[in-house]
Structure 1
Amino acid sequence: MTVHPQGWRKASYSSRETACVEIGRIGNGAAVRDTKDRSAGYFTTTGTQWAAFIDAVKNERFE
């Protein structure tokens, strides 16, 4: 069964920018795609993976 992401959105900080990513809901996780090339598809994460990523961003572990 193929599940399609719903509710695609990008960060409000992106405003009119086009060089960013969009996030969609998919089951208990998230789907991520590039706004510049939506036709290239998306990748998905589990809810646990997504929560770990968000935590790392919030705690500046990528800086």
Structure 2
Amino acid sequence: MNPPAPWRKSSHSSKEVECVEVALDKDCVRVRDSKNPGIGTLNLPHNTWSAFLSQVSGRE
């Protein structure tokens, strides 16, 4: 089993701003609340994450 990927936060975020962190694992993309990481993660298939990014960036 591979070790989990490290969590990454947007370079546009700061310590005062709530945002999400993302970890790109081999099998899925994990998303969590950066201010409250202990409440759990949302695990998404890579194709779902790609569709989400396309939608929010207007590239759909």
Normalising to structure 1: TM-score of the pair? 0.76
State the alpha-carbon separation in 2 of the partners of residues 17 and 49 from structure 1: 29
Write out aligned runs for 1:19-30 (5 A): 19-30=18-29
> What is the number of residues matched between the two proteins?
60
Alignment root-mean-square deviation, CA: 2.4
* Pair 1:17–1:5, CA change in 2 (3 A): farther
Q: Which has the higher strand share?
A: 1
Matched, 1:39 2:44: no
Normalising to structure 2: TM-score of the pair? 0.80
Percent identity between matched residues is 35
